[in-house]
Every structure is written in structure tokens, then in C-alpha cells.
Amino acid sequence: MNGVHDMGGQHGMGLVQYEKNEPVFHARWEGRVYAMTRSMRAFRRWSIDTDRHWLEILPPVDYLRMTYYERWAMRLEAQVVKYGFATQEEVESGKAAPGSVKATPALTLATSSRWVNRGIASSHEPGVPPLFAVGESVRARNIHPIGHTRLPRYARGKTGIVARDHGVYVFPDTNAHFQGEKRQHVYSVRFSARELWGQSASPLDSVHIDMWDDYLERV
Amino acid sequence: MADSEGSSVDRRGFLKGLAASAATPAALHAQDHDHQDVPSDLTLRVKALESLLVEKGLVDPAALDALVDTMENKVGPRNGARVVARAWVDPAYKKRLLENAPAAIAELGYTSGQGEHMVVVENGPKVHNLIVCTLCSCYPWPVLGLPPVWYKSAPYRSRAVIDPRGILREFGTEVAEDVEVCVWDSTAELRYIVLPERPPGTENMTEEELAALVTRDAMVGVARVAPPSGAVA
């Protein structure tokens, strides 16, 4: 979706605010939100792609105004309701309704650690051939999916060169919406800064963007 | 409870559901607050959510403690600094690191989520690399820990790709015009880390002393590794 999260190239966002000796979490609740979010993935009701899309559909004004873990907190509250772990009333009260469903067995440290240490689903699969070769010129498709996508707007319609083939990965555009993994190759595609931003950009500079087969077409 | 994903949900319905959920009290409520001003009631809300999920057996407080402890105390840029220092002193290790970063990084004992597909990009006299995730907050957790706020912020994400030299200047890093600035936008599951240049004046330093010089910012690419104080640059 053409959301506010797709920030590459936007103007007006101001200077980088740098904090010296920044703590990992700025308040206890941030750490709890981080840990609960990771822990709830153990149930495998949704993927990391779905997780990312939940943040993208936050109303733009909220997305920009909220802190990072505030977005995560809103997402987690919404997810536990959406995927049937709790009702809205339970989330608001913080108490389980009498007779409501509970996890059996309860999640333990061992279970969630096992999950947390698991890799991201992807691999080198000889059965999935690459559609493009290293060194080949490719164009990022000019597409505007309304759902989740990892094809940033600033690259669409631009021509680059396949720099590396990273092997086979789950396709986020379908996986985020429970429409299958549609595994395919991912490449680092090198775009010159001038191709992306015009003649005022440095003639030497470049941006590498990771692209799935479905984002690319032959030039 | 595992593997009960709603594969029959069509996308329109799913999106509608997502949008409806995201617009319910949770998100609307947050409109009352200014950016970066931590709402006082979030502490209470998150506490209530944790107590509910614990009551339902969905999370284990000990597991949450462990996850937080890992990120606060065990994972962080010191891991990455050791990888960089090893690469500086051991050419064979550096070669393995550039060819297969996850395996080379695992040699030093660093493995965990968000880093299975790390790629190391090397700075040199003719190229300066810079890492960003314009779409969210992708970052090489096993070697750098969780990203700082600025890395996840709108100013950095918006400008790193269109004005990388401006970003670098803000960090006090000037890159000569005849040096390529090469930005890596982490749009997939690859996680990038910069192998900075070894600073002059460090020829006689041990691996451990070198590691102490390497900063998080240098491994993201917004800074160089500064020579040790007293060294002639």
C-alpha cells in the first residue's frame, strides 16, 4: 500500500534526533511490549509480514505521532482481539472473562525460547529457479498493491542492475495476507542515485534495494 | 493452538478487518498524545495486557524477562565490534565474513532472530556504505542489538536514500566527492552490517583493543571508526 510508512525520499521530516548513550528500552513497558510481541509469535497465527502490515495500516497521523513501541502496543492489542486470543472487553479490563478460552498448555519459557531462536523462513531451494541473473538490467515494476508490499515507491519504474542473488524467500505480498508463501528469489538490485533522483544526485552514488522476482521485469 | 491461520480469509475481508481493528479505541485513543511524549497511561495499559495474557496462559512472565534481558544485556553492538576487529586482524576470517556472514558471525557465537541472512559490506578508499530500512526498522539484531530511535525515525528513513551525504554530514562524516556512497535499503530479510575501515595508528593494537574502538554508528555506516586518542591520523 502507498502508506506513510514508505518513507524513502520524502521531504519535510526534519533533522535526525540523536540521543547519546541511548538505553535499549526507554521505559519498562517498552520492553514488555517488545517481549510480548515476540512471544505471541510462538502461536504462529500470523507471520512477520502480517505483523509489518498491521503497522502500515495505522492511520497516518497516528503512525507519525506515535513512538515506535507505542505502535507495537496498539498492534498487539488489536492482534490479540483480531485473532481470537481475547475480546476487546478483556483487553480493556485486563481480566479474562469467566469461562474464556485459555492456552493449554500455557506458554513457557522453553517454548517461547525455542520459537524466538528459530530462523526466518527462507532458504536456498534448488527447486525454485531464479528469473534474473546477476549483471542483468531489470526494471522495478510500476505497481501499486493496496495490501502489504516491500517494493518501495521511490524504486517503482526505475531501472537497475542485479548485483547479488540472495536465494529463495517467502513473498511478503501474499504471505502477509494468508495467501501462501509463493517462494521466489530475492536479489540486491543496484540503482544509480541519478536514476532514482535525477541529475542533481551524485554521479557515483547508488542505492541497493532487495527485490523479489515478482517486483521485477526485464528491460 | 498452533497453525490455525485463517487461510480462507480473502484479502478484501482481511484488510477490512485489519483496518477496522486498527481504528478501534486503541489507535484512536493514542491521538491524544504528542509524538515522543510517552503517554502515562501506556504503562497501565501494557501492564493490563500482560496480566490478561498471563492469566490466559498466552505469555510467561519469565519468558518475557528473558527476552528483555537478552536485548538489554547480551546482544548489542559489542558483538558486532568483535566481528569487525576479528576481520581486521585475520584476513582469512574477513574473507569468510564477506562471503558468508551468518556462518562467520556464528563462529564467534552470535546467532539469534533477525540475523540469519546477514550481509557484510566493506568500506574502502573508494566506497562508503550506509544501512537503512526505509519501510520499517530492519536491523542486524545479533551483532548490533535493537536499533536506536533515530534509525527507526522518519528523518533517517526518508533521507538516507535521497540525501545520504546530507545525513552523513549531520553525523559529522564527510565523504569525498570521488568516493561512492552506497546505500543498502533493507527491504527483505537480508540484514546488512558495514565493515568499517581500520583507522590509522592502530597497527600495534590487539584484537580486543581494536574492538573497543568500533562503534554502532560505524557499523550502520553513519560514522567512521575514529583513530585512538593520541594516534597521528
Is A60 an interface residue toward B (CB < 8 Å)? no
Check residues A21 and A104 and name the one with the higher pLDDT: A21
Residues for chain A: how many in total? 219
Q: Rounded to 5 degrees, what are φ and ψ at B11?
A: -65, -40
pLDDT for the residue A109: 72
Question: What element of type H or E holds A175?
Answer: helix A172-175
pLDDT for the residue B229: 81
Pairing of strands A159-169, A184-192: antiparallel
Tell me which of A166-180, B33-47, B204-218 is least confident.
Answer: B33-47
Beta strands in chain B (DSSP E): 118-122, 127-132, 180-185, 191-195
Break chain B into its structural domains and give their ranges. 43-74, 76-220
Which among B206, B213, B216 has a CA at the least distance from the CA of B229? B213
Check residues A35 and B6 and name the one with the higher pLDDT: A35
Pull the grid cell for residue A171: 513473498
The answer to whether B136 touches A210, Cβ cutoff 8 Å, is no
Question: Which of B49, B56, B137 is opposite residue A77, by nearest beta carbon?
Answer: B49
Give the model confidence (pLDDT) of B169-210 as tens digits: 999 999 999 999 999 999 999 999 999 999 999 999 999 999
Residues B83, B164: Cα–Cα separation, whole Å: 25
pLDDT for the residue B15: 39
Distances (CA, A) of B75 to A156, B59, B101, B144: 36, 22, 17, 7
Q: Which domains does chain A have, with CATH numbers?
A: 28-119 (1.10.472), 123-218 (2.30.30.50)
Q: What angle do CA B95, B97, B99 make, to 5 degrees?
A: 70
Pull the grid cell for residue A147: 495490501
Whether B136 is catalytic? yes
Residues A79, A82: Cα–Cα separation, whole Å: 5
The whole-number average pLDDT for the span B153-166 is 98
**Best mutation target, A111, A153, A197, A205, to test chain B (most B CBs within 10 A):** A205
The whole-number average pLDDT for the span A179-189 is 95
Q: Confidence class of residue B156 from pLDDT cuts 50, 70 and 90?
A: very high
Give the model confidence (pLDDT) of A54-111 as tens digits: 999 999 999 999 999 999 999 999 999 999 999 999 999 999 999 887 776 677 777 6
pLDDT for the residue A145: 97
Task: Name the active-site residue from B112, B137, B153, B182.
Answer: B137
Residues B1, B135: Cα–Cα separation, whole Å: 31
Which among B210, B85, B7, B35 has a CA at the least distance from the CA of A50? B7
ipTM associated with this complex = 0.95
Give the model confidence (pLDDT) of B13-72 as tens digits: 433 444 444 433 333 333 343 444 555 689 999 999 999 999 999 999 999 999 999 999
> What residues of chain B lie within 8 A of the CB of A105, using their CB?
57
Question: Which of A16, A77, A152 is opposite residue B153, by nearest beta carbon?
Answer: A16
Share of chain A above pLDDT 90, in %: 81
A/B interface, count of CB pairs below 8 Å = 341
Is A163 an interface residue toward B (CB < 8 Å)? no
pLDDT for the residue B112: 59
The whole-number average pLDDT for the span B113-136 is 90
Burial bucket for residue A13 (CB in 10 Å: 0-12, 13-18, 19+): middle
pLDDT for the residue B40: 65
- Asked if residue A42 has pLDDT above 60, the reply is yes
The answer to whether A175 touches A182, Cβ cutoff 8 Å, is yes
Q: Confidence class of residue A114 from pLDDT cuts 50, 70 and 90?
A: low
- Mean pLDDT (chain B, rounded): 85
In the beta sheet, which residues pair with residue A170?
Answer: none
The answer to whether B196 touches B224, Cβ cutoff 8 Å, is yes
Answer whether A36 sits within 8 Å of B55, measured CB to CB: no
Q: What is the model's pTM?
A: 0.89
Question: What element of type H or E holds A165?
Answer: strand A159-169
Which residue shows C-alpha cell 552514488? A205
DSSP SS3 for A35: helix
Task: Assign a CATH topology to domain B76-220.
Answer: Nitrile Hydratase; Chain A (3.90.330)
In the beta sheet, which residues pair with residue B118?
Answer: B191
The answer to whether B79 touches B152, Cβ cutoff 8 Å, is no
pLDDT for the residue A103: 75
The answer to whether B190 touches B79, Cβ cutoff 8 Å, is no
Answer whether B4 sits within 8 Å of A45, measured CB to CB: yes
Whether B137 is catalytic? yes
